[in-house]
């Protein structure tokens, strides 16, 4: 069943991610999704959880109350389909692919196209992360093991992506850039696999917190593309 709650005290996406993470840490909560604009949390639970119990697990700055005193188990499921949720990711990939091809329309060079794709990919993805630099580390640490252990890593990760993107676009030590890219993506992928094994549903932070993407599909699509391309580049 779904239990909907009203949440006060959230002022930014960092707060939203913080509340979402705390709610998902409650054993009786299967999944939790929090909306900053609606000041609302939607929980998937086996049985109704008392407000006092939920409040006990949150920081004092956040206040929970009942949302119209209702449990949404009878509400129709208006959650968008996976394809709709992933639409922003597919659009971004389409534009990056098109730009990479057009840059070499007069002289096709598969290696150069792949380098430009990887560079543009990292630059664009880092841009979305930097839109909410405060909220991104919190979301990222929910599934990246290194960011969970070293919080500072989540803060500098968007800048690492930017630097790697520039290295690809400027053709500066590209083999080193590829190796670093493969290492950091392997770390993230390991965390994603662990999260899936625990059957947790959380928001993907690959495009920051501005766009809500399902972590499972979005992260695997992102990582798979870059890992395959990076490996191919080392073999070319």
Q: How far apart are CA 190 and CA 197, in angstroms?
A: 11
Query: Considering only CA atoms, which of 148, 123, 127 is closest in space to residue 138?
Result: 148
Tokens of 151: 């919080």
Among candidate residues 47, 53, 68, the one with its CA nearest the CA of residue 22: 53
Q: What is the pLDDT of residue 41?
A: 87
Closest by CA to 168, choosing from 127, 231, 122, is: 122
Helix 110-130 crosses helix 82-102 at what angle (to 10 degrees)? 130
Asked if residue 213 lies in contact with residue 204, where contact means CB atoms within 8 angstroms, the answer is yes
E-strand stretches of the chain: 2-8, 29-35, 40-45, 63-71, 203-204, 213-214
Average pLDDT for 177-189: 90
Adjacent-strand bridge partners of 3: 43, 71
Per-residue pLDDT at 70? 45
The pLDDT of residue 153 is above 90: yes
Whether residue 11 is predicted with pLDDT greater than 90 in this model: the reply is: no
Query: How many residues would you count in the chain?
Result: 236
The residues with which 43 forms a beta bridge, in sequence order, are: 3, 32
**164 burial type by CB count under 10 A (0-12 exposed, 13-18 middle, 19+ buried):** buried
Half-sphere exposure at residue 31, Cβ-oriented, CA atoms within 13 angstroms: 14
Residue range 18-68, pLDDT digits in tens: 888 888 888 888 888 888 888 888 888 878 888 888 888 888 888 888 765
Spans of all domains in the chain: 2-74, 82-235
pTM: predicted TM-score of the whole model, two decimal places: 0.64
Region 68-93: mean pLDDT is 62
What mean pLDDT comes out for the span 165-187? Answer: 93
Eight-class DSSP state of 46: S
Say if residue 106 is exposed, middle or buried (CB neighbours under 10 Å; 0-12, 13-18, 19+).
exposed
Has domain 2-74 been given CATH number 3.20.190.10? no
């Amino acid at each position: 069943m779904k239990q909907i709650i009203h949440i006060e005290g959230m002022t930014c996406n960092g707060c939203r991610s913080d509340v979402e993470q705390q709610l998902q840490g409650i054993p009786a909560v299967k999944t939790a999704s929090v909306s900053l604009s609606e000041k609302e949390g939607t929980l998937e639970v086996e049985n109704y959880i008392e407000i006092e119990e939920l409040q006990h697990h949150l920081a004092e700055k956040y206040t929970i109350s009942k949302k119209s005193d209702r449990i949404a188990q009878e509400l129709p499921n208006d959650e968008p389909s996976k394809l709709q949720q992933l639409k922003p990711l597919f659009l971004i990939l389409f534009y990056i692919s098109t730009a990479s091809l057009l840059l070499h329309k007069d002289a096709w060079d598969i290696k150069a196209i792949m380098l430009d794709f990887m560079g543009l990919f990292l630059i664009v993805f880092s841009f979305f992360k930097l839109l909410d630099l405060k909220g991104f580390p919190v979301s990222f640490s929910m599934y990246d093991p290194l960011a969970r252990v070293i919080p500072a890593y989540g803060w500098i990760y968007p800048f690492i992506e930017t630097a790697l993107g520039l290295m690809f676009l400027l053709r500066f030590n590209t083999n080193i850039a590829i190796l670093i890219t493969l290492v950091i993506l392997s770390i993230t992928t390991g965390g994603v696999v662990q999260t899936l094994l625990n059957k947790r549903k959380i928001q993907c932070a690959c495009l920051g917190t501005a766009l809500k993407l399902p972590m499972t599909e979005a992260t695997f699509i992102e990582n798979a593309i870059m890992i395959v391309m990076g490996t191919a580049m080392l073999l070319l």
